[in-house]
Amino acid sequence: MEAMRVKTFLSLLVGFAGFTCQPLFGQDKVDFDRAAVERGRTDFKSSCGFCHGEDATGNRAPDLIRSAITNHDVNGNLLDPVIRSGRPDRGMPAFSNLRDKDLADIVTFLHSQAYAALHSAHVPGDYPVAKLLTGNADRGKTYFDGAGGCTQCHSVTGDLAGIAKKLKPIDLQQRLVYPETRGKQTATVTTADGQSFQGKVKDLDEFNVAIVDASGWYHSWPRSEVKVEVHDPLAAHRELTEKYTDRDIHDLFAYLETLK
């Protein structure tokens, strides 16, 4: 899949809402009626799950999430007749006694399952901490205080105090490896006449450098005319990225997650 596709897609999701049982592909964010989805899940399980799997991903009968009928269905126009009449030629019984309301719930459940699969290319912000807590906090502390060199810049009673309260678990794990991608660099720029300027890096490439100084003023120079010393507080994080084992990361996370 192409770079940045999902990120772009997710950014498009913001600000769109509203649910109708429309075909799912190409649609912006859909807010399903959660109560209807759960009722539908229960009904599906009892009426359909034995053959189609409790989550509708198929068992002895086909997967309904990847089904053309589900994905072309609009408000039950295709699913209803199949459920009501069955497919006797393929061994599917008719469910003619289902109430309209229950049928609508099942249809909503199927659409929500298909939507979830279609939009599974992200890690939700509320990703369960239990899935992440596979490390050993004691080993994490040892790594933090020792091999990781974390205490050279950080303190669990200083800048990291209560960090697990401030960040969602999934964000904490990501940021412990690499806090932020941009905006942390500072630079000292020395001009030919010996003047020195310091500030946050605003722009830096092989041709020009620009900083914003402590008073908030912007300065820029051609790189060829000045000496530039860049200070990157995240350099240690980059170096560590190439050294971490997955166990180190999970141990560190288990340790930092105790800082509440």
Partner 1 sequence: MRRSLLTSILFACSLQAGSVSEGLDPAALLKPATDTWPTYNGDYSGRRFSTLSQINQGNINQLTVAWMSQVKGVAIKSTPLEVDGILYFTTPDNVWAADARTGKQIWHYLRESQGDHIGQRGVAMYGTWLYFETPDCHLISLNAKDGTVRWDLELADPKLGYFATMAPLVIRDHVLVGVSGDATDVPGFLESLEPATGKVQWKWFTEPKPGEPGSETWPQGTDAIAHGGGMTWMTGTYDPQLNLTYWGTGNPNPVLNGDIRKGDDLYTCSIVALDPDTGKLKWYFQPSPHDTHDWDAVQTPVLFNDTDNGVERKLLAQGSRNGYFFLLDRTTGEHIVTAPFVKTNWSEGIDAKGEPRPKREKEPKPDGALVSPGSDGATNWLAPSFDPQSGLFYLSARRLWSLFYMTADGKPEGWAGRDRNLWATSFIAAIDYMTGKVRWEHPIGEGEGTAGILTTAGNLLFSADNNDNLMALDPATGKTLWHVPLGGRLVASPMTYELDGRQYLLTPIQNVMIAWALPPSK
Interacting residue ranges for partner 1, rule: CB under 8 A? 1-6, 8-9, 23-26, 53, 55, 57-58, 63, 65-66, 68, 71-72, 117-124, 127, 131-135, 170, 173-174, 177-178, 181-182, 203-207, 234, 237-238, 241-242, 244, 246, 249-250
| Nearest-10 crossing angle of helices 100-118, 34-47 | 100
Which residues, other chains included, contact 248 with Cβ-Cβ below 8 Å and sequence gap of 6+?
143, 148
Q: In the complex, what is the shortest distance from the CB of residue 247 to partner 1, in angstroms, rounded to a whole number?
A: 10
User: Which lies closer to partner 1 via its Cβ, residue 28 or residue 138?
Assistant: 28
User: Which lies closer to partner 1 via its Cβ, residue 95 or residue 127?
Assistant: 127
Q: In the complex, what is the shortest distance from the CB of residue 46 to partner 1, in angstroms, rounded to a whole number?
A: 18
Give the integer Cα–Cα distance in Å for 85 and 95. Answer: 6
User: Which lies closer to partner 1 via its Cβ, residue 80 or residue 98?
Assistant: 80
In this structure, what token pair is assigned to residue 253? 């996370």
Q: In the complex, what is the shortest distance from the CB of residue 252 to partner 1, in angstroms, rounded to a whole number?
A: 12
User: Which lies closer to partner 1 via its Cβ, residue 10 or residue 161?
Assistant: 10
- Three-state secondary-structure class, residue 34: helix
Q: In the complex, what is the shortest distance from the CB of residue 239 to partner 1, in angstroms, rounded to a whole number?
A: 11
User: Which lies closer to partner 1 via its Cβ, residue 151 or residue 241?
Assistant: 241
What type of residue sits at position 140? G
In this structure, what token pair is assigned to residue 124? 């939700």
In this structure, what token pair is assigned to residue 128? 């369960």
Q: In the complex, what is the shortest distance from the CB of residue 95 to partner 1, in angstroms, rounded to a whole number?
A: 23
In this structure, what token pair is assigned to residue 64? 């309904």
Alpha helices for the chain (secondary structure H) = 5-13, 34-47, 49-52, 68-72, 79-85, 100-118, 129-132, 137-145, 163-166, 169-177, 235-241, 246-256
Cβ atoms < 10 Å from Cβ of 100: 10
CA-closest candidate to residue 64, choices 45, 38, 88: 45
Q: In the complex, what is the shortest distance from the CB of residue 180 to partner 1, in angstroms, rounded to a whole number?
A: 9
User: Which lies closer to partner 1 via its Cβ, residue 76 or residue 135?
Assistant: 135
Q: In the complex, what is the shortest distance from the CB of residue 195 to partner 1, in angstroms, rounded to a whole number?
A: 25
Give the integer Cα–Cα distance in Å for 47 and 26. Answer: 30
User: Which lies closer to partner 1 via its Cβ, residue 98 or residue 117?
Assistant: 117
